């Protein structure tokens, strides 16, 4: 199942993607589950699946304004320096432990919504990533039990303001409307089972800038869930962005940064495509 959040005719809702469009689950289950986060928190993904089964689309994919996958997420955890080719291009040593930081909801926009290049910087960089959506919370999660805690995967673009990132990681990673997430949560039963079969591609204006697969992570998804759950208590709706491969703009010669009029895409095979235009801050 692929399920996401959006606005349709002025109303916030969520729905399941089918072949010809979107089945509006908010219309069917909204009295019990007003948004996607409540579906996750109530462990009700099966109810959403059943509500969509056999239904025709209520409207087309282009008839909605996409919201961030979970408009009111818990915490967005981001892993840094987590593809070996990215470790090499940054000139660092392979990390001994997963590196993590947090991203605030204010930094996130939905699919097809504009990323905002800030007034104060011309170093707006892209990072294509796979993100894990937590479906069942917990602490000290054993690595072998990781699937019990994951609702599914989604596409993530970790926008990075590189000059501010030199001041502090949190500053460079949390500019208003500089990152994106969505459009769909693809449940594990529909996603490729093997990590190496999840191909990750980042495109700027149609040109491939980043390409790898999730099997190349320095710390795998099970390892990250086990490690980070020692520190944080995960809750349904939390998101873990798992890191980006090589090819980021700041490491190119000359550097390539995003500007108004650009379009960046994150594609994950079997999961979806996240596309965003870039505008200047007004």
Within 10 angstroms of residue 230's Cβ, the number of other Cβ atoms is 9
Tell whether the model's pLDDT for residue 73 goes beyond 80: no
Residue 91 — pLDDT band, cuts 50, 70, 90? confident
How many angstroms separate the Cα of 282 from the Cα of each of 9, 147, 179, 214? 26, 43, 17, 37
Per DSSP bridges, beta strands 76-80 and 2-8 are unpaired
Tell whether the model's pLDDT for residue 21 goes beyond 90: yes
Residue 13 — pLDDT band, cuts 50, 70, 90? very high
DSSP string, 25-40: HHHHHTTT--SHHHHH
Average pLDDT on 67-91 reads: 91
**How far is it, in rounded angstroms, from Cα 167 to Cα 43?**
40
**How far is it, in rounded angstroms, from Cα 171 to Cα 233?**
24
Give pLDDT tens digits for 193-248: 999 999 999 999 999 999 999 999 999 999 999 999 999 999 999 999 999 999 99
**How far is it, in rounded angstroms, from Cα 138 to Cα 183?**
26
Tell whether the model's pLDDT for residue 268 goes beyond 80: yes
Average pLDDT on 19-45 reads: 97
Residue 261: per-residue pLDDT: 98
Which of 88-97, 243-252, 253-262, 264-273 is predicted least confidently? 88-97
Residue 74: per-residue pLDDT: 78
Per DSSP bridges, beta strands 108-109 and 179-187 are parallel
Q: State the chain's mean pLDDT as an integer.
A: 97
Residue 172 — pLDDT band, cuts 50, 70, 90? very high
Residue 267: per-residue pLDDT: 98
Helix runs in 78-193, H state only: 84-90, 162-167, 169-173
**How far is it, in rounded angstroms, from Cα 211 to Cα 83?**
11
- The H or E element containing residue 207 is strand 207-213
HEC assignment per residue over 79-107: EECCEHHHHHHHCCCCCCCCEEEEECHHH
Instruction: List beta partners, residue 99.
Output: 80
Within 10 angstroms of residue 90's Cβ, the number of other Cβ atoms is 14
User: Are 155 and 182 spatial neighbours (Cβ–Cβ below 8 Å)?
Assistant: yes
Residue 214: per-residue pLDDT: 96
Residue 72: per-residue pLDDT: 82
Tell whether the model's pLDDT for residue 112 goes beyond 90: yes
**How far is it, in rounded angstroms, from Cα 86 to Cα 94?**
10
**How far is it, in rounded angstroms, from Cα 17 to Cα 25?**
10
**How far is it, in rounded angstroms, from Cα 153 to Cα 150?**
8
Q: Domains, the chain, ranges and CATH?
A: 2-66 (no CATH), 76-280 (3.90.850.10)
Residue 61: per-residue pLDDT: 98
DSSP 8-state code for residue 249: G
């Amino acid at each position: 199942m692929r399920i996401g959040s959006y606005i349709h005719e002025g109303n916030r809702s969520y729905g399941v993607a089918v072949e010809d469009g979107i089945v509006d689950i908010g219309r069917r289950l909204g009295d019990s589950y007003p948004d996607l986060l409540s579906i996750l928190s109530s462990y009700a993904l099966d109810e959403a699946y059943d509500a969509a089964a056999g239904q025709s689309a209520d409207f087309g994919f282009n008839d909605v304004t996409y919201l961030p996958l979970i408009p009111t997420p818990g915490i967005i955890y981001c892993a840094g320096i987590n593809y070996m080719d990215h470790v090499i291009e940054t000139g660092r040593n392979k990390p001994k432990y997963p590196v993590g930081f947090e991203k605030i909801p204010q930094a996130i926009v939905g699919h097809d919504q504009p990323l905002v290049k800030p007034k104060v910087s011309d170093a707006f960089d892209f990072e294509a990533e796979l993100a894990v959506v937590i479906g069942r919370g917990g602490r000290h999660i054993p690595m072998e039990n990781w699937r019990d805690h994951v609702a599914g995967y989604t596409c993530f673009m970790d926008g990075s303001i590189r000059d501010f990132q030199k001041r502090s990681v949190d500053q460079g990673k949390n500019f208003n409307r500089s990152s994106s997430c969505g459009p769909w949560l693809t449940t594990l039963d529909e996603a490729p089972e093997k990590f190496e079969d999840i191909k990750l591609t980042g495109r700027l204006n149609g040109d491939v800038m980043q390409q790898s697969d999730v099997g190349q992570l320095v710390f795998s998804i099970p390892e990250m869930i086990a490690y980070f759950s020692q520190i944080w208590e995960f809750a349904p709706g939390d998101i873990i962005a798992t890191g980006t491969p090589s090819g980021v703009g700041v490491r190119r010669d000359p550097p390539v940064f995003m500007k108004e009029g650009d379009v960046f895409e994150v594609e994950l095979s079997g999961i979806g495509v996240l596309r965003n235009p870039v505008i200047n801050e007004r």
